[in-house]
Amino acid sequence: MRLLRLAVRLGLALAAAATLYLGGTAFQVWRAARQDQAAPADAIVVLGAAQYDGRPSPVYRARLDHAAELFAQDVAPLVVLTGGKQPGDRFTEAAAGAGYLAAHGVPEESLVLESGGSDSWTSLQAAARVLGDDRRRVVLVTSPYHALRTRHIAGEVGLEGRSSPSASHEGVGERAWHLASETVRVGAGRIVGYGRLVRLGDKVG
């Protein structure tokens, strides 16, 4: 009976600790979604999102519009577009983003395409590689609730990242879902490492 009571108490203590940890993480994800850390940098890095035969999705378009605004404000001389393509696609996310920005006034010579990534970690790792050792300071443009995880991943791959979230047009339900999803991902990534999470996902998948 004593062992049972101890086990119950231990279980309750662990549940309480996990609840506090995830609650604190959720608050940090929520706060990061509302912080704009844009400052002079070596490059603006745009995380890719869905595109339809070369046309950016609304989510991706919001990111690209924000990157164009930052470029116009002389935040950085380069815009790095990331993201590969799904089977059957004619365009990569990076190429679709570059075409959109070029059509909206960003000079082609200021655009750098990196389509080797298939997720946030590999995309930022590829961006770090193409930027080289002399260009480490970046402004990260992505959707609001993705901001904190993106910033953490940037640090893991050797970039000095500041987040500047794009506008969000999601409904209440979508925002709640993304907040919950990012809370779990950030919570897990802090414990085991974001790169390790990606490798584990590849093995499971």
CA distance 31 to 37: 12
Q: Over the stretch 130-180, which tens digit does the pLDDT of each residue have?
A: 999 999 999 999 999 999 999 999 999 999 999 999 988 777 778 889 999
Quick one: tokens of 14? 């662990």
CA distance 28 to 110: 33
Q: What are phi and psi of 79, to 5 degrees?
A: -125, 120
Q: Over the stretch 70-86, which tens digit does the pLDDT of each residue have?
A: 999 999 999 999 999 88
Q: Each residue of 42-56: b (16+ CB within 10 Å) or e?
A: bbbbbbbbebeeeeb
Ordered by start, the domain boundaries in the chain are: 32-204
Q: What is the CATH number of domain 32-204?
A: 3.40.50.620
